Amino acid sequence: MIGREGKTEGKGEEKRERDGDTKNRKTIDWPARHEQLKPQPTSYDNNFNDTNNPSILRQAVNLRTQKRLAASVIGCGKRKIWLDPNEVSEISNANSRQTIRKLVSDGLIIRKPVTMHSRSRARELNLARRDGRHRGFGKRKGTADARMPQQVLWMRRQRVLRRLLVKYRASGKIDKHLYHELYHSSKGNTFKHKRALVEHIHRAKAEMARERAITEEMDVRRQKNKAARERKAERQAAKRQELAGEEEA
């Protein structure tokens, strides 16, 4: 076991042995020592100190104003402006719109092309949905009336039917009386769709034609019967006159 005094004496001896006598200590050339301790430049440092490197100039020069002016001159956003990294020094000297226009004409400032955002996948999905794909219960959000309100369907159907009636009336396919009748029938939910209305118009026109033919036939028959009655009356009158003449004789 070494006591506290022994530890102190041992440390003092070690310190004296490490430092040595000040008289015999070697003098240090501090400037030379600093040169030795200075870190050696790397390849990155050499590139950074190279003034001919355009990437270093691009980092050192602020071209925010030139980009803003170019965006205003070209008529696009600042994100669409491309500045030539090899001509940073010339671009940085441009401080007017006229100079920016010259750089644009020279090709040092270019508008980036529009980024393509293909809709091919969206078109394929829409075509599949037209066939009924991707429309199951798992894809639906909301009630049926919320997805397609009945009021909207009613308005669409009424507009289709009324447009058809106006078209047929203008072309002379139906008269104003049939138009008025079918207009109120459409409003009364008589026709489910346009095909039903067209079929009803065809049937109504056929019925009207049949009734017209029957009426004409009855008129002809009535005139024929009237002519027959007139001839019969004439014959009877002539026979009476003949009988009356015989009696007088």
Residue 186's domain is classified under what CATH number?
Answer: 1.10.1200.240
Stretch among 4-13, 100-109, 162-171, 224-233 having the lowest mean pLDDT: 4-13
Residue 219 pLDDT > 70, yes or no? yes
What is the pLDDT at residue 190? 96
Is 119 inside any structural domain? no
From CA 79, how far away is CA 68, in angstroms rounded?
10
One domain, residues 181 and 231? yes
Q: What CATH number did the domain enclosing 73 receive?
A: 1.10.1650.10
Q: For residue 214, what are the domain limits?
A: 149-245
Among 27-31, 122-126, 149-153, the range scoring the smallest mean pLDDT is 27-31
- Out of 124-128, 134-138, 196-200, 239-243, which region has the weakest mean confidence (pLDDT)? 239-243
- Using the predicted structure, report yes or no on whether residue 23 has a pLDDT greater than 60: no
176 and 223 assigned to the same domain = yes
Please report the sign of the dihedral spanned by the C-alpha atoms of residue 214, residue 220, residue 222, residue 224: negative
61 within a domain of the structure (yes/no): yes
Question: How many domains, in total, are found in the chain?
Answer: 2
Whether 137 is in a domain gets the answer: no
| Pairwise CA distance, residues 246 & 239, whole Å | 11
In this prediction, residues 36-52 reach a mean pLDDT of 55
Q: Are residues 80 and 155 in the same domain?
A: no
